[in-house]
Structure 1
Amino acid sequence: MDKKLNIISTYLDGLFVIEPNKFIDDRGSFSRVYCEEELKEISNISIKQINHSISRSKGTVRGMHFQYEPNAEVKMVKCVKGKVFDVVIDIRKDSPTFLKTFSIELTDENQKMIYIPKGFAHGFQTLEDNTELLYLHSTIYIPSNEGALNVTDPLLNIKWPLDIINLSKRDNEHRFLDNDFKGIEINEL
């Protein structure tokens, strides 16, 4: 089989960057976003929900969101218009990379995606106006199982590239972590 997705490991176990191989001709380009067969080497993810977000203003921050078990989810995130600084934090209990952060620029031009396993908080900052993301989720969203970290938490020390200009009231009100936070329990896939 001719692979259409390049799967690249990161220093956080289970977190991958996915680069599609683009086919370009006079008409434009074509690339694969998802292939169950090709992704089997890293996961047996089954897509249950696909979401699309539009952020109107450069500097907008959304995050750092996750879901607790039994609805912990695998996500694949792709920027389909504009540019984002995407951030992922390992919050798995007893993980050797607990509270370590990974960031990457996702753009409509580079077409990179991020594969985020269960037990990671996710957020992003828009680097251009009118930026759009597509999220593929392994489970449906359950509001009662949602969790979040504060994007300005000094313990996380996220270096946002721009001043934060838009942050929802809800995201702004998430409490800061303290030394008692030991992470979240995750069931295997």
Structure 2
Amino acid sequence: MSFTRTDIPEVVIFEPKVFGDARGFFFESFNQRNFEEVIGYPVNFVQDNHSASTRNVLRGLHYQIKQPQGKLVRVIRGEVFDVAVDIRKSSPTYKKWVGVHLSAENKKQLWVPAGFAHGFVVLSEAAEFLYKTTDYYAPAHERCIVWNDDELAVEWPTSCEPVLSAKDAQGKVLGDAEVFD
């Protein structure tokens, strides 16, 4: 598996070596030892999640203020534009974001460390999204930054108004949101 550091070095894109022939394909989607070697510290994943969404659904920008989650995300059907936003006040990349196209075709994965808000928009007719988390879902600590916060200026690659959940439509602007020190 190869990797690429993004403009925010802690956020990493992983690309597997895919072996294919007329029968189909095979690839190693996760290797704990290699993963920890790249990110530089031990990680314990405790939960796997799977979501399905239709075109223009935008989920995020989510995070947990307590029990923060690192996420290793990938798409197994369709395509999304995936975004990680640094919301750690003490970080030199505070308020910066990176976006990556993840698809069933490119098989890329994105490591989003704890301390980041995360979201994605579906670019295909439908998409299935898988992710591992380093802590359990804690609804009492979940927070959301609104997807179109002017201060962050995320460049979502869609010309349509996104389809949001009621919770995501109520997201706060960064200036009013609880963030990490």
TM-score by length of structure 2 reads: 0.93
Structure 1 runs (4+) greater than 3 angstroms displaced: 180-183
State the shift of 1:181 in Å.
Answer: 6.2
Give the equivalent residue in structure 1 for 2:124: 128
Equivalent position to 1:165, from 162, 166, 172: 162
Give the equivalent residue in structure 1 for 2:85: 89
After superposition, the C-alpha distances for 1:36-77 in whole angstroms (9 at most, x for unaligned) are: 111121131111000000002x111000001123x1111000
Gaps of 5+ in 1: none
- What is the identity, as a one-letter code, of the residue corresponding to 2:19? F
Give the equivalent residue in structure 2 for 1:51: 49
**Kept after mapping to 2: 8 A contact 1:20/1:31:** yes
**Kept after mapping to 2: 8 A contact 1:61/1:164:** no
Correspondence 1:1-189 to 2 at 5 A? 5-41=1-37, 42=39, 43-56=41-54, 58-69=55-66, 71-162=67-158, 163-178=160-175, 183-185=179-181
Gaps of 5+ in 2: none
CA RMSD of aligned residues (A): 1.5
CA change 1:182–1:135 in 2 (3 A) is: closer
Q: Count matched residues.
A: 178
- What is the identity, as a one-letter code, of the residue corresponding to 1:74? G
SS at match of 1:40: helix
**Kept after mapping to 1: 8 A contact 2:65/2:179:** no
- What is the identity, as a one-letter code, of the residue corresponding to 1:64? L
**Kept after mapping to 2: 8 A contact 1:98/1:183:** no
CA change 1:68–1:183 in 2 (3 A) is: closer
Identical aligned pairs, as a percentage? 34
Higher helix share: 2
State the shift of 1:127 in Å.
Answer: 0.4
